[in-house]
């Protein structure tokens, strides 16, 4: 799934769209996405300019965006259908290692519980074989129109 397909599922745009590509998706089960971290991102002008580190909260947001894509795909919907998925909570979040410019984050999200208007999922972010973050996400569906 290319970025133009992602735009049909997520309302986020630059500089806050944090999913560059979907490389695997199994609706109702799991998704694997990529986020390329570059020094050109606005966050690096203020987040440790002398030692740039991609903020952990942005990694969690990237996982939440991947979960949102998975939720849309699992429901067979797009933004045009008048729905949106919000990050409603995180639990058991752990940051294992730093992410720096030049890294590519592999975002893996697996559904734990999918209900009519919400979803719980396990999210993990990796750089290569190294885990950068793990978290449990709760996503809530809301009708927009």
Q: How far is CA 122 from CA 45, 48, 49, 137, in A?
A: 31, 29, 31, 6
Catalytic residue among 21, 30, 47, 120: 47
Cβ neighbours of residue 50 closer than 8 Å, sequence gap 6 or more: none
Alpha-carbon gap, residue 95 to 132, rounded angstroms: 6
DSSP state of 96: -
Among all chains, which residue has been given the structure tokens 């697996």? Answer: 110
Whether residue 47 lies in the annotated active site: yes
Cβ neighbours of residue 57 closer than 8 Å, sequence gap 6 or more: none
- Catalytic residue ranges: 47
């Amino acid at each position: 799934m290319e970025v133009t397909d992602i735009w049909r599922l997520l309302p986020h745009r630059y500089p806050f769209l944090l999913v560059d590509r979907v490389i695997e998706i199994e609706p109702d089960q799991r998704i694997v996405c990529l986020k390329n971290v570059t020094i050109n991102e606005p966050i690096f002008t203020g987040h440790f300019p002398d030692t740039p580190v991609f903020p952990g909260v942005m990694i969690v947001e990237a996982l939440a965006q991947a979960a949102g894509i998975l939720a849309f795909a699992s429901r067979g919907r797009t933004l045009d259908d008048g729905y949106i998925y919000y990050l409603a909570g995180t639990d058991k979040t752990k940051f294992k290692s730093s992410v720096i410019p030049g890294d590519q984050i592999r975002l893996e999200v697996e559904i734990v519980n999918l209900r009519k208007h919400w979803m719980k999922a396990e999210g993990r972010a990796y750089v290569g074989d190294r885990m950068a973050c793990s978290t449990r996400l709760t996503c809530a569906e809301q009708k927009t129109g």
